[in-house]
Amino acid sequence: MSFLKKSMLYAVVSLAAALISAQNALAIGGTGSSSMEFGIALLSAGQDDINTMIKDSRASNAATTSDMGSAYELFGQYQYRFSGTMFSMLFRPSYITQSTTGSGTGGSYDYKLSGFTFFPMLRMVPLENSFIKFFMQVGVGYGSLSADITQGTSSISFSGSAFGAIGGLGADFCFTPNHCLTVEGNLRYLPIVRNIAGSANGSFSNLSQASSGQEVEIANNDLQTTLSGIQGILAYTLNF
């Protein structure tokens, strides 16, 4: 069994078990409380195959483009905490952007990625008081990532998607009962192993297949992108 399948299976089993416990507690405890969260994150998404393209362009076309750095992620979140328990369910959509630009022989050498994720998660708060709440969370979800690449007079756009898993921990620092600052760290596993070209113009010396409607390949293997990595979050939480 692959690491991805093992990770997904573990996350699903953990989430299902915790949900059963939370639902039983909800039946005893009655109604719960809700919150909204808005935040920004840095994601250490290592785009190895795209960085290979960038390195090749620097070597063969004097491109000034640097390797891909961290991705930026903006998200919103709705959370429902089950009354009388330490469990919450949360739903988190996010928008992700990652890019690097430069110039070289024939024009611009730009690499731009954008995408989104949606992760339902189960959160557990094992320790809390009126000011601070420590939490742990786990979830499974979906992500999609699109790329727009320009190398001189050639350009290509492609996209891919996959399911993945996430887990992490953090803390809410509540300055009033309703307003909190949230600090959070997660590890997300969401590789995208297959990307399909939407459009392609010109030729790419560092791509072995780059035709519209076909899989994009580098060195005769599928070009891979990723939404995996360590995620650091700073957010504002409104309890109501």
Q: For residue 57, what pLDDT is reported?
A: 95
3-7, 159-163, 177-181, 212-216: least confidently modelled range? 3-7
pLDDT one-digit tens code per residue, 153-186: 999 999 999 999 999 999 999 999 999 999 999 9
Q: Quote the domain boundaries for residue 136.
A: 3-239
**Pairing assessment for the beta strands 107-128 and 154-174 based on DSSP bridges:** unpaired
Q: Count the alpha carbons within 13 Å of 142 in the hemisphere toward its beta carbon.
A: 4
What's the number of domains the chain is made of? 1
Q: For residue 6, what pLDDT is reported?
A: 46
- Stated pTM of the model: 0.85
How far apart (Å, rounded) are the C-alpha atoms in residues 43 and 59? 28
Q: Which CATH number belongs to the domain containing residue 99 in this structure?
A: 2.40.160.20
Kindly tell me the burial class for residue 109, based on how many C-beta atoms sit within 10 Å of its own C-beta (0-12, 13-18, 19 or more): buried
